[in-house]
Amino acid sequence: MPEKFLNLSQNLRGIIYMLAATLFLTGMAAIVRILTPDMHPFEIAFMRNVIGFFLILPFLLRHGSALFVTTKGDLWLMGWRGVFNAVAMILYFLGIALIPLAEVAALAFTTPFFVAILAIFLLKDIPGWRRTASLIAGFIGALIVLRPGVETVSIGSLYVIGSAASWAAAVIIIKSLSARNSSLTITFYALVFLTILTLPPALLVWRWPTPTEYMLLAAGAACGTLGQILFAQSMKSADVSLVMPFDYTKLIWAAIIGIVLFAEVPTIWTLLGGTVIFISSSYLTYRERHAAKAKASDPEAPSSPS
């Protein structure tokens, strides 16, 4: 890594990592869109996982046998994480095939709201008025994008919302696993289960890709894997409340790529609703981070009524 980059402040590096992550992840979505007219999303999801697994496996194996160590109970949890993650990925790819990239990006911002809702029921995490207001604002943002009653809510939009909800369930499980397992162990088992779980649906629609499709699949897997690594590095380099607002650039990248590659001009409702969803989800993320820090500094104190 260039010395000048290493000399940048931690916060600035975190922002740069986040901007790069959003570009690569949006690039992966664009490649999926290019592939979907001729290749089923089931097969694309499987190939993305297989290629991604082999791309990152050499790095993971450098850490030796400790990578595989986990408890029997946590292995079951990792399996369930894989199930929710696989469902989220397949629904996301199905949505990409059907609706504009900018709308996909806007609706994908709803994940933090589903995390907060699931936390209420699964973790008995009762929200305060600030978190409740954020949830309501996010719901309003989603309605602005979807405009039910004015426009017919498309199946593609429902796929992306379902993907966000399924990924939120995976996030809840990851939070539990991270207390007892390293991030590398969690990543390794996620790749294993994702590859296994996306194989059966892929076999139902299987056809061997063409050489061009193999290159696009490899590029998509590389973009997705690199994007996830950069996202994690951004979280590690700077405070989440600083870098998360730059996640909004997914909507900007998606709008630009959609216009250039697919002649998809985002509607004002998609941009407005996406902005509302993102601002409220960023505030929700900030409040949860603040509450977690307060709890860590004083374990006996009750959770902040966020």
Indicate the residue type of 16. I
Q: Which two tokens stand for residue 274?
A: 């996406």
Q: Give the angle subtended at the CA of 39 by the CAs of 34 and 45, to the nearest 5°.
A: 90
103-123 residue pLDDT tens: 999 899 888 888 888 877 776
DSSP 239-253: -HHHHGGGGGHHHHH
Burial 132-144 (b: 16+ CB within 10 A, else e): eebbebbeebbeb
Q: Which residues contact 273 (CB under 8 A, 6 or more apart)?
A: 106, 141, 142, 143, 144, 145, 146
DSSP 264: -
E strand spans, 17-155: none
What are the pLDDT digits (tens) for 153-178?
789 999 999 999 999 999 888 888 88
pLDDT for the residue 95:
96
Of 131-135, 186-190, 237-241, 267-271, least confident by mean pLDDT is 237-241
Q: Kindly report the pTM of this predicted structure.
A: 0.85
Provide the token pair at 97. 């095939």
Q: Per-residue b/e over 235-259, b at no fewer than 16 CB within 10 Å?
A: bebbebebbbebbbbbbbbbbbbbe
Backbone phi, psi, residue 223, to 5°:
-65, -45
pLDDT classification of 212: cutoffs 50, 70, 90 = very high
The model's confidence at residue 304, banded by pLDDT at 50, 70 and 90, is very low
Ranges 83-92, 104-113, 216-225, 296-305: which has the least confidence: 296-305
Calpha distance 300→297 (Å, rounded): 9
Q: What is the pLDDT of residue 305?
A: 34
Residue 7's contacts (CB-CB under 8 Å, 6 or more residues apart) are none
Q: Is the pLDDT of residue 201 over 60?
A: yes
* Residue range 225-241: mean pLDDT, rounded: 81
In contact, 223 and 28? CB cutoff 8 Å: yes
Q: At CA 19, angle to CA 46 and CA 226, rounded to 5?
A: 30
pLDDT of residue 293: 58
Tokens 């589903």 identify what position? 114
Which residue do the tokens 């990792």 mark? Answer: 78
Greater confidence (10 vs 102) lies with 102
* 51 backbone dihedrals φ, ψ, rounded to 5°: -65, -40
DSSP symbols for 170-204:
HHHHHHHHTTTS-HHHHHHHHHHHHHHHHHHHHHH
- The residue with greater pLDDT, 205 or 238, is 205
269 closest CA partner among 150, 93, 132:
150
Average pLDDT of the chain, as a whole number: 84
Could you tell me what percent of the chain has a pLDDT over 90? 41
Select from 28, 44, 66 the least CA-distant residue to 222: 28
Separation CA 74–CA 77 (nearest Å) = 5
What SS3 state is found at 238? coil
82 within 8 A of 174, measured Cβ to Cβ: no
Tracing tokens 């590659």 back to the chain, one arrives at: 261
pLDDT at residue 1 is higher than 90? no
More confident residue, 229 or 303: 229
Rounded distance between C-alpha atoms, residue 129 and residue 227, angstroms: 34
Among 208, 121, 115, which residue's Cα sits nearest to residue 165? 115
Q: Give tens-digit pLDDT for 73-95.
A: 888 999 999 999 999 999 999 99
Higher pLDDT: 55 or 244? It is 55
